[in-house]
Structure 1
Amino acid sequence: MIRSLVLGLLLLGGLWCPAQKKIVVYQSDFGLKDGAVSEMKGVAMGVSPDLKLFDLTHEIPAYNIWEAAYRLQQTVPYWPAGTVFVSVVDPGVGTARKSVVLLTKTGQYIVTPDNGTLTLIAESLGIAGIREIDEAVNRRQDSRKSYTFHGRDVYSYTGARLAAGVINFEQVGPLLPKQEVVSLPYQHAVMEGAVIKGTIPVLDIQYGNVWTNIPAELFQKLGVKFGEMVVVRVMHGGQMVYQGEIPYEETFGSVEVGKPLVYLNSLLQFSIALNQGNFAAAHGIASGGEWMVEVRKK
Structure 2
Amino acid sequence: MPSKTKKQGDRVKRLPVSLSGQITLLSDFGNQDYFVGAVKGVIASINPAASLIDITHEIPAQDIDAAAFTILASYRSFAPGTIHVGVVDPGVGTARKPILAFAGGHFFVGPDNGIFSYILEKETDHRVFHVTAQKYFCQPLSNTFHGRDVFAPVAAHLSNGLSPESFGEEIFDTVRLPPLVPTAPKPGEIKGRILHIDHFGNCVTNIDRSVLERSNEDRAKVMIKGKKIESFRESYAERKGKKSLFAIWGSAGFLEISACNRSAAKILKARRGDSVTIEFV
Q: Same fold (TM over 0.5)?
A: yes
Residue 202 of structure 1 aligns with which residue? 196
Conserved? CA contact 1:258–1:275, under 8 Å: no
Deviation at 1:257, TM superposition (A): 8.0
Residue 129 of structure 1 aligns with which residue? 127
1:70-104, Cα deviation, whole Å (9 max, x unpaired): 11111122322211111000000000000000011
Residue 87 of structure 1 aligns with which residue? 86
2:154 paired with 1:158: yes
Residue 140 of structure 2 aligns with which residue? 143
**Aligned pair partner of 2:232 in 221, 240, 248:** 248
CA distance in 2, matches of 1:133, 1:246: 48
Residue 112 of structure 1 aligns with which residue? 110
Conserved? CA contact 1:60–1:68, under 8 Å: yes
Residue 189 of structure 1 aligns with which residue? 182
**Identity value in percent:** 28
Residue 56 of structure 1 aligns with which residue? 55
CA distance in 1, matches of 2:178, 2:243: 34
Give the root-mean-square deviation of aligned CA atoms: 2.1
Amino acid of the structure 2 residue aligned with 1:182: V
Instruction: Give the secondary-structure state (helix, strand or coil) at the position aligned to 1:42.
Output: helix
Per the alignment, do residues 23 and 284 of structure 1 end up closer, same or farther by CA in structure 2, a change over 3 Å counting?
Answer: same
Conserved? CA contact 2:101–2:127, under 8 Å: yes
Instruction: Give the secondary-structure state (helix, strand or coil) at the position aligned to 1:219.
Output: coil
Instruction: Give the secondary-structure state (helix, strand or coil) at the position aligned to 1:137.
Output: helix
Instruction: Give the secondary-structure state (helix, strand or coil) at the position aligned to 1:87.
Output: strand
Instruction: Give the secondary-structure state (helix, strand or coil) at the position aligned to 1:77.
Output: helix
Deviation at 1:15, TM superposition (A): 5.0
Residue 270 of structure 1 aligns with which residue? 255
Per the alignment, do residues 222 and 190 of structure 1 end up closer, same or farther by CA in structure 2, a change over 3 Å counting?
Answer: farther
1:134-163, Cα deviation, whole Å (9 max, x unpaired): 2422201x323x210000000011001101
> Which runs of structure 1 show a deviation greater than 6 angstroms over 4 or more consecutive aligned residues?
none
Residue 260 of structure 1 aligns with which residue? 245
Deviation at 1:58, TM superposition (A): 0.9
- Gaps (5+ residues) in structure 2? 1-10
Conserved? CA contact 2:113–2:175, under 8 Å: yes
TM-score if structure 1 supplies the norm length? 0.84
Length, aligned pairs only: 269
2:167 paired with 1:172: yes
Residue 23 of structure 2 aligns with which residue? 24
- Gaps (5+ residues) in structure 1? 1-10, 235-240
